[in-house]
């Protein structure tokens, strides 16, 4: 991460033991199940299954949550803290659906690492890739969990190759699966020379772990059927030759990801992953800010708001600002400076999110996430300090609609650019509009950071440097209605008309007044702020 950090003395133990991370995955890969198992081992809940039940109860509480329920997606991010071994884990939940990606982007500004969960049968999926790229923008260290190994899965080398190629990151196996699908018996723990055997009968039972003295140890043959053992030996041999060794520094710099194989639902591989996050995951990192960086071991407390959630608790009708502590040792009742308004703020009822229930936070350290109930003073990006006028940077602000024109650095590459944009439009990563007058494209996104993601992807995947520039328009509406009326409208408003990647007609403007006027003047037409994705 930041070079300046390496010259500093070791962090105080309370801070050094914190691991603040998010899970990134494609929907259905097993993020919820893995979270439940983390909490189960973290002692935060008694029985797996509670996260889901709790989540569903909460989701009925507001329209937004209702929408989430109807669509079967998770949009509410929350933070959960739990202890395991000597570590304090802070897991910040990310919404999985791409419509809500701006939320995810912000969440990732509050963590020091990400756990990437992939489905062993599916490999790297579209959402995995998108989220990974956001992590890469911040050089976040990534630890990988390849889930559902109890099912028929892809060949281990194939999975590793796919991650290396699609995500351009070195992959080092931390464990190696033994057998496939029904034959899957467990993993060989490469980092610690142990055999981990899965118990299919009891899903909440921790795997049997057997210490092995190297690959010649006769104990291996006692536990692994002969044909699987031969295959394991062969594969481990190949892995040793072909795949890079674990380099903890490369992991911390985000160039290498260790991969564990397991089955979250069978509680298999989860402990090894947790221990891995402890051993190889980063301590709380310095935070970029103006006019100076903030270091976690500074004695004075500082923090920043990365998420605001309304109506978390219907009884209180409050808003909770999620604050990532960037430095210091926070104690309940502290008076902090709200830097934007220059006003002091007594933080008398902060909450820590301990898995199932909110609890009053008596104290917290750099790296922790606390919730501060408030009536709207706290906004995303706000900084709280003990008095210094310092402002945390790098937290994107998201207007609901952002439009920018995009140009290729090399004007001869316009066709190339069009192709790239169409691909992203089809993926749903951005809206792409071709104005009917003039050249170039207008790109619309929900979050400003998405422009950066797009620019870096276009450069990476198409070798095409591009520039995003402010557009004269701020809103887009899809136009529909009887053909005659649409034609008449289009002819009279050519300056404002564009087509999206599907060829559908879009009206662009910067004035709500324009939209109101058209609705009045063209009663047959519908101007719509949304369009069904096909
Ligand atoms: P999320 O959408 O990423 O949160 O995924 P979930 O945790 O909800 O899991 C999606 C589905 O996969 C659920 O039906 C889980 O029961 C199932 N699942 C999760 N982990 C495993 C696993 O290790 N093996 C198998 N066979 N199924 C799993």
Atom of ligand 1 lying closest to residue 117 CA: 3
Strand partners for 522: none
pTM: 0.72
Angle, helices 50-59 vs 63-70, to 10°: value is 120
CA 516 to chain centre: 38
Atom of ligand 1 lying closest to residue 33 CA: 7
Tell me how far the alpha carbon of residue 277 lies from the centroid of ligand 1, in angstroms: 21
Cβ-proximal residues to 252 (8 Å cutoff; 6+ apart), any chain: 1, 141, 280, 282
The whole-number pLDDT of residue 476 equals 87
Residue 248: strand, helix, or coil: helix
Strand partners for 147: 119
For residue 198, name the pLDDT band (cuts at 50, 70, 90). Answer: confident
Per-residue pLDDT at 449 exceeds 50: yes
Q: Across residues 39-54, what is the average pLDDT?
A: 54
Q: Across residues 508-528, what is the average pLDDT?
A: 89
* ipTM (interface predicted TM): 0.99
Nearest one of 289, 304, 388 to 342, comparing CA atoms: 388
Per-residue pLDDT at 430 exceeds 90: no
Per-residue pLDDT at 149 exceeds 90: yes
Average pLDDT, the chain: 83
Least confident of 4-8, 24-28, 282-286: 4-8
Tell me how far the alpha carbon of residue 148 lies from the centroid of ligand 1, in angstroms: 7
Tell me how far the alpha carbon of residue 29 lies from the centroid of ligand 1, in angstroms: 6
Per-residue pLDDT at 33 exceeds 60: yes
Reported as type and span, the H/E element at residue 101 is: helix 101-108
Nearest one of 183, 179, 388 to 300, comparing CA atoms: 388
Strand partners for 475: 509
For residue 95, name the pLDDT band (cuts at 50, 70, 90). Answer: low
For residue 373, name the pLDDT band (cuts at 50, 70, 90). Answer: confident
């Amino acid at each position: 991460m930041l070079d300046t950090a390496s010259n500093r003395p070791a962090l105080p133990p309370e801070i050094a033991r914190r691991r603040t991370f998010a899970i990134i995955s494609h929907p259905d890969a097993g993020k919820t199940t893995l979270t439940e198992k983390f909490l189960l081992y973290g002692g935060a809940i008694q029985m797996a299954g509670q996260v889901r039940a709790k989540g569903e109860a909460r989701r009925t509480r507001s329209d937004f949550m209702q929408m989430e329920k109807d669509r079967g997606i998770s949009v509410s991010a929350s933070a959960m803290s739990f202890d395991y071994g000597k570590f304090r884990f802070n897991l910040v939940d990310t919404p999985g659906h791409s419509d809500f990606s701006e939320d995810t982007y912000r969440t990732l500004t509050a963590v020091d690492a990400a756990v990437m969960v992939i489905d062993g049968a599916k490999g790297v999926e579209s959402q995995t890739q998108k989220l990974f790229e956001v992590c890469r923008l911040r050089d976040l260290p990534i630890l990988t969990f390849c889930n559902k190994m109890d099912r028929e899965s892809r060949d281990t080398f194939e999975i590793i190759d796919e991650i290396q190629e699609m995500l351009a990151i070195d992959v080092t196996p931390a464990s190696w699966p033994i057998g496939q699908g029904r034959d899957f018996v467990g993993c060989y723990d490469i980092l610690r020379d142990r055999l981990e055997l899965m118990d299919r009968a009891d899903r909440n039972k921790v795997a049997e772990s057997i210490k092995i003295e190297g690959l010649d140890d006769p104990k291996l043959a006692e536990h692994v059927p002969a044909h699987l053992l031969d295959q394991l030996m062969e594969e481990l041999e190949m892995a040793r030759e072909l795949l890079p060794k674990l380099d903890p520094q490369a992991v911390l710099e985000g160039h290498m990801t260790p991969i564990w194989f397991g089955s979250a639902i069978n509680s298999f591989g989860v402990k090894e992953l947790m221990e891995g996050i402890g051993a190889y995951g980063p301590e709380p990192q310095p935070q970029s800010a103006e006019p100076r960086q903030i270091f976690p071991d500074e004695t004075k407390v500082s923090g920043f708001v990365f998420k605001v959630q309304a109506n978390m608790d219907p009884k209180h009708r409050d808003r909770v600002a999620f604050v990532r502590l960037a430095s210091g040792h926070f104690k309940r009742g502290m008076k902090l400076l709200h830097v934007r308004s220059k006003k002091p703020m007594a933080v008398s009822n902060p909450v820590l999110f301990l898995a199932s229930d909110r609890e009053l936070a008596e104290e917290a350290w750099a790296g922790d996430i606390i919730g501060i109930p408030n009536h709207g003073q706290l906004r995303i990006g706000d900084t709280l300090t003990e008095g210094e006028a310092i402002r945390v940077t790098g937290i994107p602000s998201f207007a609901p609609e952002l439009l920018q024109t995009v140009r290729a650095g090399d004007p001869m590459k316009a066709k190339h650019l069009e192709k790239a944009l169409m691909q992203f439009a089809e993926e749903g990563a951005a809206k792409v509009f071709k104005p009917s007058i003039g050249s170039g494209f207008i790109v619309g996104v929900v979050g400003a950071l998405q422009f950066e993601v797009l620019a870096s992807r276009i450069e990476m995947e198409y070798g095409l440097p591009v520039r995003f520039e402010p557009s004269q328009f701020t809103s887009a509406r899809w136009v529909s209605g009887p053909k005659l009326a649409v034609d008449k409208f289009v002819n009279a408003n050519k300056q404002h008309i564009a087509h999206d990647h599907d060829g559908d007609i879009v009206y662009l403007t910067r004035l709500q007044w324009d939209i109101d006027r058209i609705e009045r003047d063209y009663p047959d037409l519908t101007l719509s702020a949304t369009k069904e994705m096909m």
